[in-house]
Amino acid sequence: MEAPHLYLGWHPEYGFVAASSPRLTDHLRDWALERVQFEPIPGTNLHRLTEPGQDGQRRARQAVTAIRGLNLVVQADFTLDPELTADPPRPTVSHGLAQRQARIAGAATARSPQRAAPVTSTVASVYRTAPVTVPTSTVPGTTRGR
């Protein structure tokens, strides 16, 4: 097996970290790690995953795969190596959340109780007027002439 270019693992203070071997130039290391959302830790030779609290393990596993896609050799902790372990379970939508979303969708499509009721026919009949009949002889242009 070829010697690794990068090592990925868990650090108690910094979270998910990556370190490089002397085989990898600093420029290539920085370029590869910044591509997979790792940032340098000042005063050390380590890089840490940005915002590890936002699904850090999945992102670190994806970083291992992406760095290997660059034809670099990566040695990772057992839990971070996609070739050695299965993916962690994905979060599922709880039944309570699905019910809440259904209630919100129903409320969005229902008629608002704040809107006025439609006008009934008894109220509308007050404003109606009887049709006016006009004799045909007084309307110009209705008789045939000549």
pLDDT digits 0-9 by tens, 47-77: 998 887 788 888 888 888 888 888 888 888 8
Query: pLDDT-based confidence at 39, cuts 50/70/90?
Result: very high
CA–CA distance, 84 with 10 (Å, rounded to integer)? 16
pTM (2 decimals)?
Answer: 0.54
Sequence letter at residue 29: R
β-pairing verdict for 6-11 and 74-76? parallel
